[in-house]
Amino acid sequence: MQLPPAQSLRSARTPAPPDPAFAPSPVHSAAMADERPAMPKAITRKSEDFDRWYTDTVRRAELADYAPVRGCMVIRPYGYALWERIQRALDDMLKRTGHENMYFPLLIPESYLLKEAEHVKGFAPEVAWVTQGGQKELEERLAIRPTSETIICSMFADWIHSYRDLPVLINQWANVMRWEKRTRLFLRTSEFLWQEAHTFHETHAQAAAEVDTGLECYRELAEEWLAIPVIPGRKTESEKFAGAEYTLSIEAMMSDGWALQSGTSHHLGQNFTRAYGISFSDRENVLQHPFQTSWGLSTRIIGGLIMAHGDDAGLVMPPRVAPIQVVVVPVTRSNDPEGAAAVDEACRRIAAEAGDVRLRVDRREGIRPGEKYAHWELRGVPLRLTVGARDLATGQVTVTRRVDGESWAEPLDGVAARLPALLDEVQARIRSRAEGLLRDRSVEVRSLDELREAFAERPVFANAPFCERPACEEAVTSAAHALTIRVLRRDRSGEVGRCLACGEASSEVALIARAY
């Protein structure tokens, strides 16, 4: 097969359309099908194959790659830098709300795990076990933590004695392992990184307030930092955490209309504290079991970030968590040393005046500007400054916004000082685009027929009055392919209606969607 001439290749590519997230390119697909070059320079089109687009993007943007063990991944420096940004934002919130970090061991004795019946039942299928140390078979096998409630309870049983010891508000940043059957980079890996907060309280109400605090931290992280609008709510009985009294979560819409559970917060009641024998003397000197919560947010959120904002050119990073916020690309000619010196001088000046802005000047030699543009677009860098002789002739630089491809000229003087404001605007645009998507693809339904209809064309977020009966949940989830009740919406709890399945009185609104 003949390779197409370079010209036709170039014309087949679509240079960052104005709204690339929703702009399919039939021209491109046709070209790819008939004369697909050996190594396509572009990643798979999002509209063509969302799953492949996702994996391509993660790998080509060098966020992560597969490791030799099934379901495990290596988080590469760019991906880890992103995680560190997320960690810092969330960790600050945790500290602000009174939580302290500590660390528990990776290995948990089997007997610890067995104490809470529901919990064991829930996690049994996905626990990985250590059975041997060196050459010796262990007397008791050790679980690689799938979560840490059990070990934490066992330890705090020794440390909590009085109401004066409460509340306990702790958190740990750790890795956990769940032997997953179907894995996907970031979204569902066997080992993942997360934060797990664990708290103990005197009263049920105090614990309930803490569950809300946790969820609010997640909402703030998602919306204010990651620019992902979320819908907070309560999980149905069938979807709640193993061993919890109830579970709250935030649900985000990915740009293909699927839902991603992006953070969960559990009220554990006294289920674990009773099972693990944690008790305290209350203010009347009566022995009580404390009320407990736990909540976690994982590297999965990175998958959410990618799928919520990314487009055909790759990632779109919200500036507040972008490892690199601004990239400066110098454009010079080799036969114009004076021009090159001026460009270099301008780049230095911008870098020097950038202050806290995370800015990088791409001085790599022998790489043409166009390739650098593509390189940083793939990585989602929010703003690009192009600095060439043409710009400097009029005392300007060219600014290009990743999210929508908009380009304009800014005076070189003081441009560095204006970057924070420009980045804020980018943050707002990314968020409002995501909010627009959520709005456009949310529908209200009142019956199973309407539900089916709503999903006939494409995945949506369907809201419906729901009575919470398991039989009705079953009816809802089997009404169309792969439906799930994501949450009972927080913001609409108490809304009077008639259940979409049985028609009986209801006071909750279910968010129904297909989910990752």
Partner RNA sequence: CGGGGAGUAGCUCAGAUGGUUAGAGUACUGGUCUGGGGGACCAGGGGUCCGCGGUUCGAGUCCGCGCUCCCCGACCA
In the region spanning residues 124 to 183, those forming contacts with RNA, defined by CB under 7 A, are 125-126, 178, 180-183
> Pattern 91-130, binding to RNA, x per CB under 7 A?
-------------------------------x--xx----
Footprint (CB under 7 A) of RNA, residues 293-322: 296, 298-300, 313
Q: Does 366 interact with RNA (rule: CB under 7 A)?
A: yes
| Structure tokens given for 252 | 């985000």
- Counting Cα atoms < 13 Å in the Cβ hemisphere of 117 gives 1
Q: Which is nearer to RNA, 128 or 428 (CB)?
A: 128
Q: Does 374 interact with RNA (rule: CB under 7 A)?
A: yes
Piece in contact with RNA (CB under 7 A), picked from 94-102, 331-339, 416-424, 449-457: 331-339
Cα separation, 516 vs 129, whole angstroms: 27
Q: Does 332 interact with RNA (rule: CB under 7 A)?
A: yes
Q: Which is nearer to RNA, 210 or 473 (CB)?
A: 473
Q: Does 506 interact with RNA (rule: CB under 7 A)?
A: no
Q: What region, left, alpha or beta, does residue 265 occupy, with left being phi > 0 and alpha being psi -120 to 50 degrees? A: beta
Cα separation, 46 vs 53, whole angstroms: 5
Which residue in the set 55, 97, 279, 281 belongs to the binding site for RNA (CB under 7 A)? 55
Footprint (CB under 7 A) of RNA, residues 406-435: 407
Mapping DSSP to helix (H, G, I), strand (E, B) and coil, where does residue 24 land? Answer: coil
Q: Does 188 interact with RNA (rule: CB under 7 A)?
A: yes
Cα separation, 192 vs 212, whole angstroms: 24
Q: Does 368 interact with RNA (rule: CB under 7 A)?
A: yes
Piece in contact with RNA (CB under 7 A), picked from 151-159, 328-336, 345-353, 448-456: 328-336
Q: Does 458 interact with RNA (rule: CB under 7 A)?
A: no
Task: Using the CB atoms, write b or e for 133-150: b if 16+ within 10 Å.
Answer: eeeeeeeebbbbbbbbbb
Q: Which is nearer to RNA, 289 or 486 (CB)?
A: 486
Q: What's the closest the beta carbon of residue 87 comes to RNA, in angstroms?
A: 15
| Structure tokens given for 342 | 């001026």
What residues does 314 pair with on adjacent strands?
A: 311
Peptide bond into 26 cis (omega under 30): no
Which residue in the set 2, 18, 33, 69 belongs to the binding site for RNA (CB under 7 A)? 69
Q: Does 68 interact with RNA (rule: CB under 7 A)?
A: yes
Q: What's the closest the beta carbon of residue 85 comes to RNA, in angstroms?
A: 18
Footprint (CB under 7 A) of RNA, residues 277-296: 296
> How many residues sit in the footprint of RNA (CB under 7 A)?
78
* φ, ψ dihedrals at 286, nearest 5°: -105, 135
Q: Which is nearer to RNA, 71 or 465 (CB)?
A: 71
Q: Which is nearer to RNA, 99 or 235 (CB)?
A: 235
> How would you class 3 by CB atoms within 10 Å of its CB: exposed for 0-12, middle for 13-18, buried for 19 or more?
exposed
Which CA distances in Å does 16 have to 45, 70, 143, 201, 206?
12, 35, 48, 52, 50
Q: Does 218 interact with RNA (rule: CB under 7 A)?
A: no
Q: Does 37 interact with RNA (rule: CB under 7 A)?
A: yes
Q: What's the closest the beta carbon of residue 362 comes to RNA, in angstroms?
A: 11
Q: Does 369 interact with RNA (rule: CB under 7 A)?
A: yes
Piece in contact with RNA (CB under 7 A), picked from 13-21, 92-100, 112-120, 200-208: 13-21
Q: Does 38 interact with RNA (rule: CB under 7 A)?
A: yes
Piece in contact with RNA (CB under 7 A), picked from 160-168, 202-210, 258-266, 348-356: 258-266
Piece in contact with RNA (CB under 7 A), picked from 111-119, 135-143, 363-371, 457-465: 363-371
For residue 473, which of 303, 305, 238 has the smallest C-alpha distance? Answer: 238
Taking the CA atoms of residue 343, residue 345, residue 351 and residue 354 in that order, the dihedral angle to the nearest 10 degrees is -100
For residue 324, which of 378, 397, 392 has the smallest C-alpha distance? Answer: 378
Sheet holding 136-144, edge to edge: 107-109, 136-144, 128-133
Piece in contact with RNA (CB under 7 A), picked from 37-45, 105-113, 208-216, 491-499: 37-45
Q: What's the closest the beta carbon of residue 277 comes to RNA, in angstroms?
A: 25
Which amino acid does the sequence have at 307? M
For residue 357, which of 309, 320, 314 has the smallest C-alpha distance? Answer: 320
Q: Does 378 interact with RNA (rule: CB under 7 A)?
A: yes
Which CA distances in Å does 133 have to 109, 130, 138, 403?
14, 8, 6, 51
Q: Does 10 interact with RNA (rule: CB under 7 A)?
A: yes
Q: Does 185 interact with RNA (rule: CB under 7 A)?
A: yes
